[in-house]
Amino acid sequence: MTQIVEKGNIPRDYYAASLDNGSLVMEPRCACGNILDEDYFCEKCHRKCRCNEIICHDGATLEMVNHFIRKSSQFSGYKARLVGDG
């Protein structure tokens, strides 16, 4: 029988989220920290990235993102947290 091992604290691709004059700004980033273009391909890692986590700059940003996660089906597959929380 094969044992399934879940590894914790593995770096993941993410969106870096912040507020700019009250508007939500989300910048896609590879797990390595490289900023991604529209095609989500990381030139540094040579792979296509998938961002499923939103890392928020501050509490106000996290509050807005959580609102979108609850209210919009386009955000329902994402998880959000504050920068520094792991």
Structural domain boundaries in the chain: 14-82
What is the C-alpha to C-alpha distance for residues 7 and 25, in angstroms, rounded to an integer?
30
**pLDDT digit string (tens) for 37-69?**
999 999 999 999 999 999 999 999 999 999 999
**CA 20, 25, 30: angle at the middle one, nearest 5?**
140
Amino acid 3: pLDDT: 45
Residues written for the chain = 86
User: What's the whole-model pTM score?
Assistant: 0.82
